[in-house]
Amino acid sequence: MALCLVILRADAFFRKSAACRALTLGVALALVPLCCKAETVLRVADQKGLQRALLEAAHQLDGLKYRIEWSEFPAAAPLLQALSADAVDTGVAGDGPFLFAYEAGNDVRATLALQPRAGGRYLAVLVPGASPIKTAADLVGHRIATGRGSIGHALLLSLEEKSGWRPGQIDIVFLSPSQSAAALHAGSVDAWSTWEPYVALEEQNGARAIVYGTGLTPNYSFQVSNSHALATKHAELADFYARLAKAYIWGKTHPHEYALIWSQQIGLPVTIGERVASEMLTQLVPLDSHVVSAEQFTVDIFRQAKAVPEIAPALQEAFDFTFATQ
């Protein structure tokens, strides 16, 4: 930009010479792409550094033709709020919070899917080690913390439906992850429905999982974007998603390398990183009718619980089918 200003001042200096003016204009036009064109910035939201560490470990951020501006979020709900407000361009979110945000009218669209993890053990209901609660049935009459609209919330609603519990038989308390952990430790809630890496961290501190997400929810996660980014940065998003897909493939065969980088970045023991890597690493796949059909279940349990408006946009419109992994 400074070079552009020098050229403009040179033009003023040579005003009396038509030839000089023409020469100055020609030089200025030739230099505009070099000095005045803004670099494209792709604003990427991450949760607990999981995807950034994976991309860096797999060397998939090498040779970018745009700049990535990273933002860190403790959970999907604030990430999706930032996305809807156009504060970020893309990020990753579980199916529960994504559909909760979409059904509430937020400007969010799923672009690619992360296949369900084997076993669904990345999602669990935890209780303190000394708790008398031993099974899912024992949760009746107790207070359970989770994030509103989170995958933990979806897990509790699914558990409620499949167990045949009446509304109110479990008391769901909506708290952030940090608040939930504090409440569980203080005894002000009896259980916490949460996800990795919080599951591994709490189990390391003596908590027990009495329910895992296996068979209770579809267990998909999604890459998500908004209408503005999809319209103005489609090429950058496609390139980023292709790199991310390759990183996930690499990560499945190099879990230790991934765990090491992620643990160092987030400041957690490598043992936690290795467990999270084994449970979270999956595959990024294009969206299809099977994914949409599976997610109807998530929408239905939120609607039955009156957690989202009964009249909401069609589920099909929540997905953008224009991306493919390589």
Domain of 135: which CATH number? 3.40.190.10
- Do 301 and 226 share a structural domain? yes
Whether 93 is in a domain gets the answer yes
Whether 323 is in a domain gets the answer no
- Do 226 and 149 share a structural domain? no
Whether 326 is in a domain gets the answer no
Question: What are the pLDDT digits (tens) for 69-125?
Answer: 999 998 899 999 999 999 999 999 999 999 999 998 999 999 999 987 655 678 999
Whole-number pLDDT of residue 11: 40
Whole-number pLDDT of residue 13: 35
- Do 177 and 149 share a structural domain? yes
Domain boundary pick from 160, 178, 212? 212
Domain boundary pick from 184, 212, 240? 212
Whole-number pLDDT of residue 267: 85
* pLDDT grade for 19, boundaries at 50, 70 and 90: very low
Does residue 34 carry a pLDDT above 70?
no
Whether 13 is in a domain gets the answer yes
Give the mean model confidence (pLDDT) for residues 302-318. Answer: 84
Whole-number pLDDT of residue 281: 79
Give the mean model confidence (pLDDT) for residues 28-47. Answer: 65
Whole-number pLDDT of residue 38: 63
- Do 295 and 169 share a structural domain? no
Structural domains in the chain (count): 3
Question: What are the pLDDT digits (tens) for 219-266?
Answer: 899 999 999 999 999 999 999 999 999 999 998 899 899 889 888 888
Whether 146 is in a domain gets the answer yes
Domain boundary pick from 212, 229, 256? 212
Whether 325 is in a domain gets the answer no
- Do 208 and 131 share a structural domain? yes
The better pLDDT of the pair 267, 145 is held by 145
- SS3 of the chain: the string is CHHHHHHHHHHHHCCCCHHHHHHHHHHHHHHHHHHCCCCCEEEEEEECCHHHHHHHHCCCCCCCCCEEEEEEECCHHHHHHHHHCCCCCEEEEEHHHHHHHHHCCCCCEEEEEECCCHHHCCEEEEECCCCCCCCHHHHCCCEEEECCCCHHHHHHHHHHHHHCCCCCCCEEEECCHHHHHHHHHHCCCCEEEEECCHHHHHHHCCCEEEEECCCCCCCCEEEEECHHHHHHCHHHHHHHHHHHHHHHHHHHHCHHHHHHHHHHHHCCCHHHHHHHHHHHCCCEECCCHHHHHHHHHHHHHHHHCCCCCCCCCCHHHHECCCCCCC
- Do 237 and 149 share a structural domain? no
- Do 235 and 311 share a structural domain? yes
- Kindly report the average pLDDT of the chain as a whole number: 86
Which residues constitute the domain of residue 127?
A: 120-212
- Do 184 and 54 share a structural domain? no
- Do 138 and 112 share a structural domain? no
- Do 52 and 20 share a structural domain? no
- Do 175 and 111 share a structural domain? no
Indicate the pTM of the whole model.
0.80
Question: What are the pLDDT digits (tens) for 172-216?
Answer: 999 999 999 999 999 999 999 999 889 999 998 999 999 998 889
Whole-number pLDDT of residue 309: 82
The better pLDDT of the pair 167, 176 is held by 176
Whether 101 is in a domain gets the answer yes
- Do 111 and 224 share a structural domain? yes
Q: List 225's β-bridge partners, or say none.
A: 90, 109
Whether 143 is in a domain gets the answer yes
